[in-house]
């Protein structure tokens, strides 16, 4: 997955055009699957399999049938300061 960094270094964009905030600057408590997959350098479907099988290194919350990946757990897993 290719990423581009803007001049401020806070926002990155992947090859599909999605923009992602740096994980250490993320203000939300949880992020969607695409964002979590970007930070973990995995495909979104890999995270969905982890959620289904409940065997990945991180577990999502389920909110109205959608997966929400806790930013605090992503930071812990990647060793990023809060």
* End-to-end Cα distance, the chain: 25
Q: Which two tokens stand for residue 36?
A: 């979590």
Nearest CA among 63, 71, 69 for reference residue 26: 71
- Condensed to tens digits (0 to 9), the pLDDT of residues 12-51 reads 666 667 789 999 999 999 999 999 999 999 999 999 999 9
Cα–Cα separations (whole angstroms), residue 32 to 26, 61, 63: 12, 10, 11
Task: Give all domains of the chain, ordered by start, each with its CATH number.
Answer: 3-78 (1.10.1660)
- Condensed to tens digits (0 to 9), the pLDDT of residues 40-80 reads 999 999 999 999 999 999 999 999 999 999 999 999 999 98
Strand pairing partners for 70?
30
H helices within 1-82, ranges in order?
33-40, 44-53, 71-78
């Amino acid at each position: 997955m290719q990423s581009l960094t803007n001049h401020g270094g806070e926002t990155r964009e992947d090859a599909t055009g999605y923009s992602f905030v740096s994980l250490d600057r993320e203000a939300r408590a949880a992020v969607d699957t695409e964002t979590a997959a970007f930070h973990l350098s995995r495909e979104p479907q890999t995270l969905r399999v982890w959620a289904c099988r409940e065997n990945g290194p991180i577990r999502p919350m389920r909110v109205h049938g959608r997966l929400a990946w806790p930013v605090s757990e992503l930071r812990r897993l990647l060793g990023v300061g809060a």
